[in-house]
Amino acid sequence: MAKKHYLQLIVFNNCLNLILDYLKDNKEALFSCLLVNRLFCQHVIPYLWSSPFELETNPNKHKLILRTYISCLCEEEKQQLINFQIENESLSTPRDYPKYLEIFNNQHIQDAVEKFTSTEEKVERTDMKNKKRKIRKLLCKIITNLLINRTKGFTCVEIISSSSDLNSIDIDYTIFPRLSQALSRLQVFEFSGVFSQGICQLFTNFAQHINTIKKLSILLQPQDETLEITQAITKLIKSQTKLTSFTITQYWDNHPCSKIYSAIDSHSNYLNHLRIEGLADVEQLLTVLQNCNNLETLQLWEFGEIDNDSLFNLKYPGFRIESIKNLYCDGYSPSHSNLTTVGLFLRICGRNLRMLWLGHVTKELLQDMREYFPHLNYLSLKIYEELLLDLTKSLPSMPLEN
């Protein structure tokens, strides 16, 4: 009888987890589940605290999340805050909330710390500004250390590094001893911002200790000195076992970067989503694409300086990727080289293309759409008035839904 009851409880728990998985992005539904009974409460709390800053859309309530984390600090860390006269209200914390965190975003923490330490004073003396900045840096470091030490494992890490934001706080994440354990389950890593020595070390650290990343996004601002960061990025890409989604900006200026594309090519059998921003190395990208037999989505946002002579030689790439279902090309001006580049990538798509998004089109591009893509379900175009008639000729042959 006891065994039967035990099996029923396991089945119920599994069913409840499936329901909560479905509701995980619905804050109101999760909060209502808290009130059902103790068992529901035990299952719901990990979902609410897996990404509390993202789930709570009201930034003013992020102070409460931060205060809860502060209550989870050890006495020594609390004393550090007291020494800096940081508000340290004692809250009842029956659970170890930091252990549930799965999505780590440094900007969320910095924004919460900013609100937590802000005052109503409109004008502050320079010495007060400097003191407040030290307090914010200390608090960010202590909270980051708490989350890295207590989490069961981050599945997603998002790092934003901005040199233009005077309130931005740079933290050397490699100083935390338990970083590699906290990242043992990592599947998504997204970085955006400016290069620094600390970021380069972080990429190198990730490459040494992590091979589980499936979605990698690196949006770097253009750099003058690219060798060191390129080596770190290349190692990070190649160290992963199965990269399925990759996004990168062409941060290098007018210099082809074969190392980056070679690293991308090492995952050509697994990639199903590829996004390049500021593309200029068309030939190298095409070399990679002809090996991507499972690619479903190709996104190109803005183009760099593309050589017209090389475009002429590449006009007919000589291969198609039948697996591509979604092609996005946007953020570019209607120059001859840009439109020629768009036409080039249109020609590598097969008849399975379902979604097409183009920033600008020509009469020739419309003709290619009509001739080669009979199964389009979704179409988004920025089009000039004189081409509307040509577009209307193409529409009847497309089974569009949107």
Per-residue model confidence as pLDDT tens digits over 6-37: 566 676 667 777 777 777 777 777 777 777 77
**Strand, helix or coil for residue 299:** strand
The residue type at 230: T
What contacts 164, CB < 8 A, 6 or more positions away?
Answer: none
Cα–Cα distance, 216 to 341 (Å, whole number)? 25
Tens-digit pLDDT profile for residues 99-131: 999 999 999 999 999 888 876 555 556 667 788
Angle, CA 242 vertex, CA 289 and CA 232 arms, to 5°: 80
Tens-digit pLDDT profile for residues 354-369: 999 999 988 888 888 8
Q: Domain segments of the chain: what residues?
A: 1-48
Tens-digit pLDDT profile for residues 164-204: 555 567 788 888 889 999 999 999 999 999 888 888 999 99
Question: 347-359 burial by CB neighbour count: b if 16+ within 10 A, else e?
Answer: ebbeeebbbbebb
Tens-digit pLDDT profile for residues 230-280: 999 999 999 999 999 999 998 876 565 789 999 999 999 999 999 999 998
Cα–Cα distance, 297 to 282 (Å, whole number)? 17
Query: Between residues 243 and 224, which one has the greater pLDDT?
Result: 243
Q: Round the average pLDDT of the chain to a whole number and report it.
A: 85
Cα–Cα distance, 283 to 261 (Å, whole number)? 10
SS3 content of the chain, % helix, strand, coil (to 5): 50, 15, 35
Question: The pTM is what?
Answer: 0.88
**Do residues 235 and 202 lie in contact, with contact meaning Cβ atoms separated by under 8 Å?**
no
Cα–Cα distance, 358 to 348 (Å, whole number)? 15
Which range, of 37-46, 119-128, 324-333, averages the lowest pLDDT? 119-128
The residue type at 211: N
* pLDDT confidence tier of residue 228, bands split at 50, 70 and 90: confident
pLDDT (0 to 100) of residue 242: 94
**Strand, helix or coil for residue 189:** strand
Cα–Cα distance, 95 to 72 (Å, whole number)? 9
* pLDDT confidence tier of residue 378, bands split at 50, 70 and 90: very high
- Mean pLDDT confidence for 212-222: 93
Angle, CA 9 vertex, CA 4 and CA 14 arms, to 5°: 130
- Mean pLDDT confidence for 35-52: 82
Closest CA to 196 of 166, 220, 165: 220
pLDDT > 70 fraction of the chain, expressed in percent and rounded:
86
Task: Name the token pair of 25.
Answer: 């992005």
Cα–Cα distance, 264 to 52 (Å, whole number)? 33
pLDDT (0 to 100) of residue 197: 86
Query: Between residues 9 and 41, which one has the greater pLDDT?
Result: 41
| Bridge partners of residue 248, in order along the sequence | 218, 276
Cα–Cα distance, 192 to 81 (Å, whole number)? 30
| Mode of pairing for the β-strands spanning 326-330 and 355-358 | parallel
pLDDT (0 to 100) of residue 221: 83
Q: Other CB atoms closer than 10 Å to residue 8's CB: what's the count?
A: 10
The four Cα atoms 106, 107, 111, 114 give a dihedral, to 10 degrees, of 60
- CA-based max dimension of the chain: 80
Residue in the structure block whose two tokens are 């909560």: 20
